[in-house]
Structure 1
Amino acid sequence: MAFHEIRFPDNISRGARGGPERRTQIVELARGDEERNASWANSRRRYDVAYGIRRADDLAAVVAFFEARNGRLYGFRYKDWADYKSGLPSQPVSPVDQRIGTGDGSTANFSLIKRYVSGGQSWARAIVKPVTGTVRVAVNGIEPASGWTVDAATGIVAFATAPPAGMAITTGFEFDVPVRFDTDMLDVTLDLERLGSITSIPLMEIRR
């Protein structure tokens, strides 16, 4: 996957709009009942960052970022200010925020995930772009000072020694969303007062 490990400017993404998208097929039967089927097993996020542009310098930064990514060619990191932590937005990252596995004495690598829970239902989201320096890990509730690493480009936590059988592996982290531009053209307007604007700058999450 063609990807640049660089984050879209935070000051612009903070004012953006967007969120998760699902795709559901709905068939209305003759008697008025419905049958619903999920076309996608996982959600996909879409954003429009045009809403975050407030001045001409912001516009210049976006145009430079767009050109450096060759439009839709290269993916990049994006901070979704509505959802960028393993736990609640108001709480600091904790090493027990998310359970990512259970030790079996032989498995040393574990993938970061975030679970979304409501009632008795939940959905597990793969986290592949953790933010460097924010990841914390615990084994059975104890945070080791060393003996593990995390790949910031893949979200894989690797232990030097496989955790013992039955031990809960938990983590906490901040994360970015892997996205790409969903257009190969920016329609830029610059008025007489040098206030720049773009009607729409769509971004789409990249799924593996």
Structure 2
Amino acid sequence: MASPFDEVRFPLDVALRGSGGPRRRTDVVATGSGREERNARWAHARRVYDAGSGVKTLEALAAIVAFFEERRGRLTGFRWRDRLDDRSCAPGREPTALDQAIGVGDGARSRFQLVKTYGEGPSAYTRPIVKPVPGSVRVAVDGVVRTDAQVSVDPTTGVVAFAPGFTPPAGARVTAGYLFDVPVRFDTDELSVDLDAFAAGEIPRIPLIEIVP
């Protein structure tokens, strides 16, 4: 049975001031000669965040406590807006349907997963995008933008589905542009806040961790 997930976003005013980014897991073993053997444990990075730096008022703190209680601590996942990395294009730009290559048609395939590619060449990393912002996704086939009647996007999985009769032909390049959230959960079952310290400017710790698709 799938773990619970609420399609709601963490309070945006706090998230946009939060901190964090990608984490990877690499085993490093030193040999007797001093050389290293390195092995990647994870195929995909797992993002970690701390929302505490975004909490500036007592009202915001109370809202986070309420959100924490609604999610039952670590139990239920939710959406998080990563200010640094929340779109198919560079920060500050508007997404277009040509931003990211998500597949090549074969004449029969009608479903494509949204992805975002980092870097170029053989070392480029392709990340699945599973929580696009509803209404933000634009899709093109060989540079021609498709209408909502021709293609649909599941905002809970990031799967692009072409309607019957509009399947991309063999060799056609399928691209997309979008805004997206990161699926996360609280990485603690306890929020402990010292109100005197908070009033004096101490930042509470509110850890979050990405849920791997």
TM-score scaled by length of structure 1: 0.95
How many residue pairs match? The answer is 208
Structure 1 spans left out of the alignment, 5+ residues: none
SS of 1:199's partner is coil
TM-score scaled by length of structure 2: 0.93
Contact 1:3 1:76 in 2 (8 A): yes
1:98-117 aligned within 5 A: 98-117=100-119
Structure 2 spans left out of the alignment, 5+ residues: none
Deviates more, 1:194-203 or 1:38-47: 194-203
Matched, 1:154 2:157: yes
Taking every aligned residue pair, what percent have the same amino acid on both sides?
50
Residue identity in the other structure for 2:139: V
Residue identity in the other structure for 1:179: V
Per the alignment, residue 2 of structure 1 pairs with 4
Q: CA RMSD in A?
A: 1.7
Contact 1:26 1:37 in 2 (8 A): yes
SS of 1:20's partner is strand
Residue 49 of structure 1 deviates from its aligned partner by 0.4
Per the alignment, residue 71 of structure 1 pairs with 73
Residue 189 of structure 1 deviates from its aligned partner by 2.0
The alpha-carbon distance between structure 1 residues 133 and 88, as it changes in their structure 2 partners (threshold 3 A), is same
SS of 1:12's partner is helix
Matched, 1:131 2:133: yes
Matched, 1:174 2:174: no
Distance 1:8 1:91 in 2: 23
Higher strand share: 1
Matched, 1:33 2:35: yes
User: Residue deviations 1:41-91, cap 9 Å, x none?
Assistant: 111000000010000011011001000000011000000001000011132
Contact 1:59 1:197 in 2 (8 A): no
Residue 32 of structure 1 deviates from its aligned partner by 1.1
Per the alignment, residue 83 of structure 1 pairs with 85
Residue identity in the other structure for 1:206: I
